[in-house]
Amino acid sequence: MSDSAVTAEANKRRTFAVISHPDAGKSTITEALALHASVIGEAGAVHGKGGRKGVVSDWMAMEQQRGISITSAVLQFAYRDCVVNLLDTPGHADFSEDTYRVLTAVDCAVMLLDAAKGLEPQTLKLFEVCRHRRIPVITFINKWDRPGMAALELLDEIESRIGMRPTPVTWPVGVAGDFHGVIDLRAEHMVHFERTPGGSRAAIEEVLTDAVAADRFGEDYSTAVEEVELLAASEQTHDQKLFLDAVTTPVLFGAAVANFGVRQLLDTLIELGPPPSPLDDVDGRPRDLDAPFSGFVFKIQANMNPAHRDQVAFLRVCSGRFERGMVVTHGTTGRPFTTKYAQSMFGSSRDTIDQAFPGDVIGLVNATNLSIGDSLYSDRKVSYPQLPSYAPEHFATIRTDDTSKAKRFRKGIAQLDAEGVVQVLYSDLRGEQSPVLAAVGPMQFEVAAHRLRNEFSVPVTVDNLSFSLARRTDAEGATRLRTAPGVEVFTRARDNAILAAFPNRWRLQTIVSDYAGVMLEPLLADTNELPDRAR
């Protein structure tokens, strides 16, 4: 395939993440987008055990039991003349490291806001990450079929609190909780929505002329028109360059659970969302889209199919044409790597894929020698920047009292470490039979224990420790700190880094004062690249 053909295929790709605060409706909007693209026949609201047969992104048993997203998921499908790579992410702050890795692999983000709650803490942090990485953001104000804030008030909050200028693409007719439809500002007409039974299928849409809309919805429509005119007068209109520069954010209104406004969001993603662009390598040089194949692994997931117990490495294609079976080079080891088992992903479902292009996310099955952040390439060598990790704030020991399952326990712990579910630490004090898990949030310990019990049939006990932060040290520092009160020294399994854990910042400051010259470095290579929680 010619270089121009690769570029043409890349221009058809739209790769984006859906991100938000917990309970804003990410999994619901993910299904609704898939429904409007006609790749599933029915959507089900995400609310615990019931009504979930349409859910395609929350595949893990614990996700289905609790009604929350615990791990990111990839859905690839065709819409119009494009190939969409949609990445659904966890919303809970405890799983923000997974969300951050996903944001390294996308070209655009859809930020969901709850109409009643507006900008919430996790939303603010994710906006900051997107802005720092210059990821264009499209905002979808969800749950407009329920009582909530005024539309203009929400726009003011977006601009005042995150500094991005909101530029509505659609505007609601009717206040939150009394939703009639939207004015499509580009098409300059109103779209009236009518919910289908149970909201399981795409909403019925009716395009109305100005006269018909005014007659049918009276004051509500007049108010909406006045607000649109006010927005135009204040120059809150879409500018593609400012959007791509992450200066402005297009805004749409809808209700995902009723499938209102979802088609407009999908069309906006296709029409305004950026196609892939050259990504910088580790030396800051852009890798052209039509250069030989390259990509990087941003996620590892095991046991998506419990019957096969396989492991999938999620790879973002950055340049060139990928062909199943091609032999590429593993950047970390320099060894050949055969891509025989390559698949396109749709939640937990997947199909064999023969080729992929820049922007695509593919799954490499049973790629057990790949790790998060690894680069793969053909021909000319390229390495992409290492993916940063969050600094852990919670620590706990984990053990099994069933000695007959010790081998299975170690295998499960190694798998969780490889996936980045937790960081696994060992110390001479505790030994291999009682590793310490380090995590951003305590719910990660629940996930680890749940998966060990259900996927590896290993009963475990988790006991929280009093540590709340860690610093990197060296062999000399480890020797000096091993006898320091309130401090424990660990070796991190994934990279053999030596870490010293502390109960609080006061104890850390005391150690710095009492042990002059000891090496104590933050765990992050670039703390400015992550939101406050990661520092």
Binding residues: 88-92
Return the closest-CA partner of residue 436 out of 497, 407, 486, 394: 394
Distance of alpha carbon 206 from alpha carbon 314, whole angstroms? 40
Return the closest-CA partner of residue 452 out of 424, 403, 426, 415: 415
**8 Å CB contact between 111 and 85:** no
Q: What DSSP designation does 118 have? A: B
Distance of alpha carbon 462 from alpha carbon 399, whole angstroms? 7
Distance of alpha carbon 66 from alpha carbon 182, whole angstroms? 33
- Strands 137-142 vs 108-114: parallel, antiparallel or unpaired: parallel
Distance of alpha carbon 150 from alpha carbon 386, whole angstroms? 42
Write out the binding residues for GTP.
88-92
What are the φ/ψ torsions at residue 467 (nearest 5 degrees)? Answer: -70, 150
Region of residue 177 (phi > 0: left; psi between -120 and 50: alpha; otherwise: beta): left
- Strands 248-253 vs 165-168: parallel, antiparallel or unpaired: parallel
Sequence-distant (6+) residues with CB within 8 A of 93 are 121, 122, 125, 440, 441, 533
Instruction: Report which residue type is found at 264.
Output: Q
